[in-house]
Amino acid sequence: MNKRQFGYAALTASALTAAAIAPAIASSLGGPLELADEGTFFVGGQVVRSEYPGTPNAVVGGAGAGSITINQMYVHYRIPKVVSAPPIVMVHGSGHTGVTYETTPDGREGWATYFARKGFPVYVVDHAGRGRSGFNPTPINRARAQSDAKSIPDIPLPTRERAWQSFHFGATYPNLYPGSRFPGEAIDQYFSQLVPNAEVTLGETGTETVAALVALLDRIGPAIVIVHSQSGGYGLDLVRQRTDKIRALVDVEGSCGPLSADDVAKQFTKVPMLAVWGDNTVGASGPNSDGRRNNCAATIGAIRTAGGSAKFLLLPEAGIKGNTHMMMMDKNNLEIADLLIAWLAEVGARK
Amino acid sequence: MNKRQFGYAALTASALTAAAIAPAIASSLGGPLELADEGTFFVGGQVVRSEYPGTPNAVVGGAGAGSITINQMYVHYRIPKVVSAPPIVMVHGSGHTGVTYETTPDGREGWATYFARKGFPVYVVDHAGRGRSGFNPTPINRARAQSDAKSIPDIPLPTRERAWQSFHFGATYPNLYPGSRFPGEAIDQYFSQLVPNAEVTLGETGTETVAALVALLDRIGPAIVIVHSQSGGYGLDLVRQRTDKIRALVDVEGSCGPLSADDVAKQFTKVPMLAVWGDNTVGASGPNSDGRRNNCAATIGAIRTAGGSAKFLLLPEAGIKGNTHMMMMDKNNLEIADLLIAWLAEVGARK
């Protein structure tokens, strides 16, 4: 079966499972991973009362309503045996979770373990309300209980067709751009990692994740932060709120503002910033194209003019062609990682 | 602030973050973790067309409807440098994700890394529709679009009050049973890991996870399987569908049937089975109490009578008191893990 051809037809589980992916016990890593520590914790969040936590929730001698935790953020850390670089926080974009930075869809090493093997303590998060950071089912359950369909939040999950264009895999699903570095043979694995943006159930979308990222920096101390796409703006807010705790900001095809002159002068001249863009964004549709990219170029220019350390890196201009919005899983993802590490060294954030 | 006393009041993010948890770069592990490989992949799932994938999803020259992947299951694997035991699959219960088996709420080592350090290749999953295995937002978005509130799925998230009783932390939240081994000082961290059972959006709840577990065993080969609570029944279905691929089944306070005499004779005499139960379940409220426990004792008895290798382990009867439904994160969680490993050796499933 040609995996690029199944349009709308439902596949059997076995067909999807049979996609070209990593062997079970394999070498997805480029070498052994020796960790001093590895584990998970949560940051941020509040305890609130929910009148509609779903069924069953009745307690003995009580009703179904009760206390739930919302807005918390899941963090997975990998601390290498030999630490030779600052901590690095990896934040995903819309429709994704921290899986963005794990094993690539075609079973190669992702940035999370690669940076750990390069000496960085790595912290991968799931946005508040998404993935292993639970969402709040209350507005959904309440809408049902009160027959108030209009109050149901709109919960987006990127379709393949939409993602294909927005993430610059190709002009129309399922055809890749010529020379694309995306692992097209593993698109079933890739699309398996997309999740609904269930943070819409939390209220002020994004605010909770920024608050949790602030809590994370307060806990682990100064760190490099990589943001991607939707979380580009979160990275900017983080610089505003914790200027002294960001060793460098790497913004992968995310929003770069616009920033006020005051923001630039007071904060962004103090945090080295790299904006990285892939190929095929010029004239592309969707949010990750000309408007955002030109904005990034302008922001980087403004920071430089103000005396800050900032770089706009359009990969095809640097001779690296075919990268997509998901460059952390493209075929040359470790080459891109090496570029980031070289830039971190340049700006003094590697040590 | 006494963390056990905040009932319904909302906490600030900083208050919750300040809970007693692991330091940032710390020793949650009991020793270094040397891995030959570590990473993630998905199993199972189908590609389906969704008419209501949420906004924005319009493609250029097209509408918002399109293809999405549902029913897939996230798998996180850790392969130790020196493998000395069969693969082990760890499956969580209701309201949880694979975080169940990761670092404990109070920042100690969980079963996932402990078993890896004992030589087992470890595979931790998130049920289909939950956590990093995305759910299907279509029924929710459709209900909104069609003003059909009745069709909204009921999406349960355990409240603290309900969980407190069902998981045998204590008779009433937030008071622990005397002598409880649950890390009560870290309840904010524990409750942060609870997520809604969003698999209700998939259709036949549970079926998808069993199908994905079958796909996982077909991929990695014969394995030990640990199931917990809600997934007890999934473990039984797995034995029915892949008898030859289960080296042993460990059922932690999960359903044990009832099994038909035919099931016992044909399948369950071929798979060593251990049913483990904690303390304070006798006369307790909720699903994890007398009915289920007695059922487990009866099933284990039936398998033994039929000549199979099965054991019913009620921890307090074995002199280990104070364990809760979440024994994989109780203070003596590694003592329990050692008991499991000793039993696996006894039944020949350790090598």
Instruction: Tell me which chain A residue has its CA closest to the CA of residue B86.
Output: A25
Question: Chain B contact for A1, CB < 8 A?
Answer: no
pLDDT at residue B64, rounded to an integer: 83
Residue A174, preceding peptide bond in cis (omega within 30° of 0) = yes
In whole angstroms, what is the distance from residue B78 CA to residue B121 CA?
6
Within 8 A by CB and 6+ apart from A285, the residues are A165, A166, B59, B60
Strand pairing category for A33-43 and B33-43:
antiparallel
A49 CB-contact burial (10 Å; exposed 0-12 / middle 13-18 / buried 19+): middle
Contacts of B173 in chain A (CB under 8 A): 59, 67
Predicted local confidence at residue B57, as pLDDT: 72
Query: Which of A16, A66, A150 is opposite residue B46, by nearest beta carbon?
Result: A16
Checking phi first, is residue A313 left (phi over 0); if not, alpha (psi -120 to 50) or beta? beta
- Cα separations (Å) of B200 from A151, B94, B140, B178, B312? 20, 12, 11, 36, 32
d(CA B260, CA B169): 33
Chain centre to alpha carbon of residue A89: 10
Q: What pLDDT is recorded for position A7?
A: 26
The answer to whether residue A107 neighbours chain B at the CB level (below 8 Å) is yes
pLDDT digits (tens, 9 = 90+) for A83-104: 999 999 999 999 999 999 999 9
**Cross-chain Cβ contact B27/A37 below 8 Å:** yes
Let me know how long chain A is: 351
Q: Which of residues 212-231 of B touch A (CB under 8 A)?
A: 212, 215, 218-221
CB-CB: which of B113, B140, B191 is closest to A140?
B140
pLDDT digits (tens, 9 = 90+) for A267-309: 999 999 999 999 999 998 888 999 999 999 999 999 999 999 9
Q: Please provide the average confidence, as pLDDT, over all residues in chain A.
A: 91
Q: Look at B64 and A212 and tell me if their CB atoms are within 8 Å.
A: no
- B316 C-beta neighbours (distance < 10 Å), count: 15
Q: From the list B13, B26, B285, which residue is nearest A46 (CB)?
A: B13
Interface pTM, i.e. ipTM: 0.93
| Facing A56 at nearest CB: one of B26, B156, B198 | B156
pLDDT at A301: 98
> How many residues are given for chain B?
351
The pLDDT value given to residue A62:
59
Query: Residue A2: what pLDDT?
Result: 31
Is A32 in Cβ contact with B36 (below 8 Å)? Answer: yes
Query: Residue B47: its chain A contacts at CB < 8 A?
Result: 6, 8-11, 16, 160, 188, 191
Residues 115-144 on A with a CB inside 8 Å of B are: 121, 126, 131-132, 134-137, 140-141, 143-144
Structure tokens at B169: 């932390």
Report CB contact under 8 Å: B47, A16: yes
A82 burial level (CB within 10 Å; 0-12, 13-18, 19+)? exposed
**Under an 8 A CB cutoff, do A81 and B32 touch?**
yes
Q: Where are the domains of chain B?
A: 32-42+72-132+157-346
For B260, residues 6+ apart whose C-beta sits below 8 A from its C-beta are none
Query: B197 with B156: CB under 8 angstroms?
Result: yes
pLDDT confidence of residue A286: 84
CB contact under 8 A, B53 and A113: no
Q: Does domain B32-42+72-132+157-346 fall into CATH 3.40.1010.20? A: no
Categorize the per-residue pLDDT at A59 as very low, low, confident or very high, splitting at 50, 70 and 90.
low
- Look at residue B126 in the predicted model and tell me its pLDDT: 98
CB B144 within 8 A of CB A140: no
What is the least distance, in Å, from the CA of A170 to any CA of chain B?
12
Amino acid A15: pLDDT: 43
Strands A73-80 vs B46-50: parallel, antiparallel or unpaired? unpaired
Class of domain A36-46+75-133+159-346: alpha beta
Q: What is the pLDDT of residue A263?
A: 96
B160–A144 C-beta distance less than 8 A: no
User: At A182, is the pLDDT very low, low, confident or very high (cuts 50, 70, 90)?
Assistant: very high
Residue A49, beta-bridge partner list: A67
Residue A61's pLDDT is 59
pLDDT at site B17: 44
Quote the Cα angle for A176-A182-A184, to 5°.
60
Structure tokens at A147: 């027959």
Ramachandran angles phi, psi of B100, nearest 5°: -45, -40
pLDDT band at A206 (very low <50, low <70, confident <90, very high): confident
A63 confidence band (pLDDT: 50, 70, 90): low
Return the residue matching tokens 């969040």: A45
Smallest Cβ distance to A154: which of B14, B141, B172? B141
Contacts of B67 in chain A (CB under 8 A): 7-8, 159-161, 173
Question: What values do phi and psi take at B222, rounded to 5?
Answer: -50, 135
pLDDT tens by residue, chain B, 351 residues: 233 222 223 433 334 443 444 444 558 999 889 999 999 999 999 999 999 999 877 666 556 899 999 999 999 999 999 999 999 999 999 999 999 999 999 999 999 999 999 999 999 999 999 999 999 999 999 999 999 999 998 999 999 999 999 999 999 999 999 999 999 999 999 999 999 999 999 987 789 999 999 999 999 999 999 999 999 999 999 999 999 999 999 999 999 999 999 999 999 999 999 999 999 999 988 889 999 999 999 999 999 999 999 999 999 999 999 999 999 999 999 999 999 999 999 999 998
